[in-house]
Amino acid sequence: MAIVLDMLLYRTPRSFSGRSARQVRLRAAGSVGTGMMPGSPGGIAMKQELQCGGALGIVLLIALAFLLATPWAGVGEPTGGPLRVFVPWCMEKRLRRIVEAFQEQRPTTPVRFTTGTPGQLLAKIKEGGRPDVYIAMGPAEVEVLNSLGLVVPGSAREILMQTLVLAVSSEARESVKELRDLAKKEVAAVGIGQPTLESGRLTRAALRKLGILEAVEPKARTSPLRCLVLGDVQAAVLYEQCVYDEDLHAGVLVTQRGIGSAWPLPKELCEPFPVVAVALKPGHPAAATFIQVLTEKRAQDILHRRGAWSCPICEMKQ
């Protein structure tokens, strides 16, 4: 503030006659010593210059007051720079394709992704990480962000629906064919998400409906997909979006490495639930645009893996 006032009061631009404010003051001082009369031509010119300089200063001060009164001038208001997005690793490929559609509207705003499992992304936020947009694999993550006071009110949008999937290793395909089989003695370890995440909450609710939660809980291992890939568990309950990957050369979906078989949980055990995009405080001026783009047809085709936009090489195959 002091710098701005200094610029306005002591570094006034040149007057209309071409002289600086300093020159006007010096001339005024010199006129007194020489006995210049107010009505003389020199005195009239000096008076006009002083009036011009004073009027300009008043205009600049009014402009400064207007700027300070605007809402976006306050501390903690949205700032520019790259748009930082936290996204689950299994959705990164699709989100990167959607960036092109976003930058057609915001060409000067780069997008920076941070990827990981939902548990890892929430841990980064609790450690002080501050993305501008967070892609949540379910409402449970949004609840955690709300409890931390980070969600921009009214910014949450459902961008995709999914369910949970029972994924089984190749070695356990004969012994595990439905969720109830996780209670079998020959199944030593099961991958289940953390209770604070949507997958962990819904999996435990489904096991409770079947009356086998107490039998399965001692076998539970977190980071379910990682445990399944490494062979640490025989089966895991996963987000549908994390079970399949895209074989762009064949143009088909394939299961992730380490998965022998996969079955969606029946609706009576797990109702479909949304993937949610939400803006986080303090706010980025492009966050709302990015989330809006996620709800539009082009992005929806990519998210649902349908249509020409979802497959970059489809035109080559036709």
The whole-number mean pLDDT for each consecutive block of 10 residues of the chain, a chain of 318 residues, reads 40 39 40 45 48 51 46 39 96 94 95 96 96 98 97 98 97 95 97 96 98 98 94 97 80 84 96 98 96 97 80 44
Residues 31, 106, single domain; the answer is no
Residues 169, 154, single domain; the answer is no
Residues 111, 128, single domain; the answer is yes
Domain-located, residue 245: yes
Helix residue ranges per DSSP H, 106-177: 118-126, 139-147
pLDDT at site 256: 87
pLDDT at site 32: 39
pLDDT at site 85: 98
Residues 226, 292, single domain; the answer is no
Among 247, 264, 281, identify where a domain stops. 264
Domain-located, residue 77: no
Residues 147, 199, single domain; the answer is no
Residues 120, 176, single domain; the answer is no
198: Cα separation from own chain's centroid = 19
pLDDT at site 258: 87
pLDDT at site 166: 98
Residues 210, 294, single domain; the answer is no
pLDDT at site 79: 47
Residues 182, 90, single domain; the answer is no
CATH classification at residue 173: 3.40.190.10
CA dist 290 and 103 (Å) reads 9
Residues 294, 250, single domain; the answer is no
Domains contained in the chain, number: 3
Which residue type is seen at 211? G
Residues 28, 175, single domain; the answer is no
User: Beta 133-136 vs 273-279: how paired, if at all?
Assistant: antiparallel
Residues 124, 246, single domain; the answer is no
Domain-located, residue 289: yes
The CA-atom distances, in angstroms, between 196 and each of 128, 132, 162, 270, 301 are 19, 22, 18, 17, 30
Among 47, 69, 91, identify where a domain stops. 69
pLDDT at site 108: 94
pLDDT at site 309: 64
Domain-located, residue 154: yes
Summarised one tens digit per residue, pLDDT across range 277-296 is 999 999 999 999 999 999 99
- The answer for residues whose C-beta is within 8 angstroms of residue 80's C-beta and 6 or more apart is 109, 284, 285, 286
Among 40, 69, 98, identify where a domain stops. 69
Domain-located, residue 172: yes
Residues 247, 183, single domain; the answer is yes
CA atoms within 13 A on the CB side of 99: 18
Which residue type is seen at 186? E
Residue 144 domain boundaries? 83-161+273-317
The CA-CA-CA angle for residues 190, 193, 194, to 5°, reads: 120
